[in-house]
Amino acid sequence: MTEFLSEYGLFLAKSVTVVIAILAVVIGIIAASSRAKKDARHGDIQVEHFNDELQEMKEVLEGSILDKDELKAIHKAEKKKEKEEKKARKNNPPKTEERNKRIYVLDFDGDIKASEVEPLRQEISAILMMAEADKDEVVIRLESPGGMVHEYGLASSQIERIKRKNLPLTICVDRVAASGGYMMACLADKLLAAPFAIVGSIGVIAQLPNFHRLLKKNDVDYEVLTAGEYKRTLTMFGENTDKGREKFVEELEETHTLFKNFVKEYRDQVDIEKVATGEIWFGKQALEINLVDELVTSDQYLMEAAEEADIYLVRYEEKKSFQDKLSEFTVDSSDKVLSRWWTRLTQPRTWSR
């Protein structure tokens, strides 16, 4: 009996120790996270030199593919070129120290709420403090199917800040810039698109389910009280009227007119009545009707530009608490699992015997 009690006491002591240790770690993480969230800035600007990335990729390939003699010859040629350039600068020093053109690259991946507006405004603010109108360029790699009018209106206003500084602005569309996405894209001095990128959708849409008949069938009353004749034109639960519908459509038409005028202001070469039908076009079609200026991917454009300019990838990284990171990890993991199962269920399978 004494031996049993001794072993049980030892087991209990170990268990309590483990529980206390776990609680201490959890409390410490939460406390540190709370302090970081309270004391730290909202985020930081991150900058990467695109030219260096290209050079690193090239060197990795050379090291894997070429033999020692070929590598030696390349390095010898590079050193000779550097020596000649250094000698030329020494013999003919420039009157003023000239620098390479700088290209600042931003990425905007838009959702229905244009959630990337906050990072975009921070990135643009940082660039505007550094870039020079007569020497530099801003490139935005834009992807968006559009969304809420007021959100994309704000995103477009952020891009307008670049134009007010007279900085050359190039916007690249590799996949899609439709509706609100095109509202942003049309601000470009040079609008580039991949051959199969989707652009356009210059129109306005609103969809609203109505459950009035269902509620009425189940003897459920729903009242909407407003002050102002058009405070609420359509409702999801009340009975909608023809007058309310007419007013709602009128507001859609007014928004569409604003959209068309905005596009016409920045791309006066387009036949606005022809393109503002809500249709979408692929890159080659869009080029024919002046919705874009050139067919080229962002990769090709930047790689060619890197031969003459220094390219910097600029992004704003928000500082996140431990809880935020844990939450994002959980959501991302769930999305991946659901996406994997959806693909398995919907993709056709080919069987062989």
Of 331, 197, 200, 302, the closest CA to residue 259 belongs to: 200
| CA dihedral for 322, 324, 326, 332, sign (positive or negative) | negative
Strand pairing report for 137-143 and 198-200: unpaired
Residue type, 29: I
DSSP state string for 62-93: HHHHS-HHHHHHHHHHHHHHHHHHHHHHHHS-
Question: Taking a C-beta distance cutoff of 8 angstroms, is the pair 236, 163 a contact?
Answer: no
The yes-or-no answer on residue 231 being catalytic is: yes
Crossing angle between the packed helical segments 2-39 and 322-346, to the nearest 10 degrees? 100
Active-site residue, from 179, 260, 320, 352? 179
Biggest CA–CA distance in the chain, Å, is 98
Of 75, 87, 84, 201, the closest CA to residue 145 belongs to: 201
Active-site residue, from 231, 243, 320, 352? 231
254-259: long-range contacts at Cβ-Cβ below 8 A with a sequence spacing of 24 or more? 255/149, 255/204, 256/203, 256/204, 259/149, 259/183, 259/202, 259/203, 259/204
Say how far apart CA 1 and CA 7 lie, in whole Å.
10
Contacts of 42 (CB under 8 A, 6+ apart): 318, 319
Distances (CA, A) of 83 to 45, 146, 270, 286, 309: 36, 52, 51, 48, 21
H or E element that contains 244:
helix 242-266
What is the set of active-site residues?
A: 179, 231
